[in-house]
Structures are given as C-alpha cells and as structure tokens.
Amino acid sequence: MNAATGRLGKAILGSYFGLMIIFLYVPLVVLVVFAFNNAYIPTLPLSGFTTRWFHAAFANTDLTGALKRSAWLALLNGVAATILGLLAAIAITGRKLFLRSVWTTLLLLPLVVPYIVLAIGMVIVIHQLGFQASLTAVLAGHIVISLPYAILVIVPRLRTLDASIVEAARDLGAGTFSAFMLVTLPLLVPALISSVLICFTISFDEFAIASFLAPPDAPTYPVFLYSGTRTPALEPQVIALGAIVITLSIVLVVGAEVSRRMLEHRLAT
C-alpha cells in the first residue's frame, strides 16, 4: 500500500476522488432540488418549495400510463432475458460445445452493435414483414440487448459453483435434470435475481429502440420523458418524475448489491 502512494499522493488522490464524486452527483441533486421548485422553468434563484409537480405528474394519465407500460415491459424483459440467458449460460459452461466461441461471440454481439443500428434494422424488418410498430417489437429489441448482460451475470456464478456438490447429488441418485433443479438452480438464485434486476433497468431506461418502435399512442416512459423535455408545460413533471426514478434506482442499485453480497455470503457458508 505504501509502495503505491505516499501521504501527499494519498491526500491529492483522495481530494480528486472527492471532487469527481461531487461532479457525478451534482446534476442528480440539481434534478431532485428542482423537482420541488415552485416555478415552471428550472432557473436560479429557487422560487420556493412545492410538491405540486409530483401531484401534477401523478394526475397526468399519459405519464402514469407510460410509466406502467415501461414497468410491464421491463418486467417481461427481465424474466425473458434471464431465462434465455440461463439457457445460454448452461450451454456455454458445458464441457463440450460445438463451435462454442462462435455462439458466445454471437450472443455477446448486442453489446457492441449501436442501438441506433439495431433500431432502424428492426424498423426495416417490421416493414418487410408488413407489421406495425408495436410494444412487442420493443420487447424483442430489449431482450436482445439485455441477453449479454444476463449471460455475463450468470456464467461466472455457474462456473464457481462447486462441481462436487452436483456430483454428490448425482451419486445420490439424482438425474441431470433433477440435480439441476434441486441443487444448481437454488444456488443460482442470487445471480438470477441480479440478472432480472439488471435487465429490468436496461429496458426501463432504454430510449433509442423504443423511440423508433413504440407506437406513437403508446410511448414508453423514456420516450415520454424525451417528448416532455420539448414541451415546456410538461418539463416540471418530467423533472419531478425523474427525481423519483433517479432516487429509486440509486436505492435499488445499492440495495441489490448489498443483498447480493449478503445472500452469496450466506450461501457460501
């Protein structure tokens, strides 16, 4: 430790880290502060405390509708992507897999293909098939972009599972399938929960694909947010809702990480 930084170096690095943390949180704090500001336009000086934007936001059925739509979409996406990710992870970690590197590369491809390309590609496919833009199309797009994250969460956990536990189950008479259901799957629960949460967040926040594929009369929540920023009358509601979502997602991220550590700790002992 001392070989890496001296006392002065530590002080400088520490202050730098502190300043960057402030830089990272200032915009988020500003958003939360202005959610309570009693004015239509977010400018300084503050014009007094109000909660009316929250009331207005929750009375706005377009907004709450978009929020509900996105929540359902994100939930379906979280479950579907996790199931597909689990299947892929089991196959990837298998002893023998024909063309393993081809399949894994293919499944991780969505990490690098720009979302704008995926979005317009899906627009073209839907046009060629004679379909209309729909939330189903948005869901399909979200599942594909979430799948690599599900795999990257599940595979390491599957790898670190003690193979001897599964072998013990099999020696005690369990078949491949029942050994999986009774031993492997329960041990995977923490990873599966993180996967669902991560995939939920990806879909819930996703704008590029949804902006191309969601029907105009059924926008997802980010699409609604974006249109809200272009409508001055809606902006305070966008900020109010944004403040809630940002606060919730920070609580969720921290909570998920803490509980994952606790769960895995308990399973490890």
Partner 1 sequence: MSSERAAAPPRRRLPRPRSGRGLLMVPPVLVVLAVLVAPIVLIALYSVDVKTNLPFTPTKFTWSMWRDFLPPSQGKYPNPFWHRFEVSMVITVIVSLVAVTAAYPLAYFLAFVPRRSRYTLLLLMLAPFFTSYLLRVIAWKIMLSNSGVINTALWDLHLRAHGNGIPWLIYSKFSVGLVLFYSWVPFVAVPIFVLLDNLDTSLLEAAQDLGANRFVTFLRVTLPLSVPGVIAGFVFVLIPTTGEFITPLLVGGPDSQMFGNSIQSFFQDTPNWNYGAVLALWLVAVVFVMLLVFGRFLSTDLQEANT
- Tell whether residue 100 is a contact of partner 1 (CB under 8 A): yes
Stretch near partner 1 under the rule CB under 8 A, chosen from 35-43, 48-56, 57-65, 185-193:
35-43
The answer to whether 251 and 65 are in contact (CB under 8 A) is no
Nearer to partner 1, 64 or 247 (CB): 247
- Tell whether residue 232 is a contact of partner 1 (CB under 8 A): no
- Tell whether residue 40 is a contact of partner 1 (CB under 8 A): no
- Tell whether residue 254 is a contact of partner 1 (CB under 8 A): yes
Please give the Cα distance from 226 to 199 (Å, whole number): 21
The closest of 76, 196, 89, 225 to 151, measured between CA atoms, is 89
Stretch near partner 1 under the rule CB under 8 A, chosen from 51-59, 71-79, 137-145, 185-193:
137-145
- Tell whether residue 76 is a contact of partner 1 (CB under 8 A): no
Helix (H), strand (E), coil (C) string for 87-116: HHHHHHCCCCCCCHHHHHHHHHHHHCCCHH
Q: x-or-dash pattern for partner 1, window 183-222, by CB under 8 A? A: ------------------x--xx-xx---x---------x
252 residue type, one letter: L
Choose which of 92, 133, 193, 218 interacts with partner 1 (CB under 8 A). Answer: 92
Kindly report the backbone phi and psi dihedral angles of residue 49, in degrees, each rounded to the nearest multiple of 5, phi listed first: -90, 135
Q: Name the minimum Å distance from CB 8 to partner 1.
A: 10
Helix (H) or strand (E) holding 39: none
Stretch near partner 1 under the rule CB under 8 A, chosen from 47-55, 56-64, 188-196, 253-261:
253-261
Question: What are 263's two structure tokens?
Answer: 């769960």
Nearer to partner 1, 172 or 269 (CB): 172
The closest of 144, 122, 145 to 134, measured between CA atoms, is 122
Distances (CA, A) of 1 to 11, 116, 146: 14, 45, 38
Question: What are 100's two structure tokens?
Answer: 């393993």
Choose which of 22, 59, 87, 189 interacts with partner 1 (CB under 8 A). Answer: 87
Helix (H, G, I), strand (E, B) or coil at 49: strand
Stretch near partner 1 under the rule CB under 8 A, chosen from 27-35, 48-56, 57-65, 187-195:
27-35
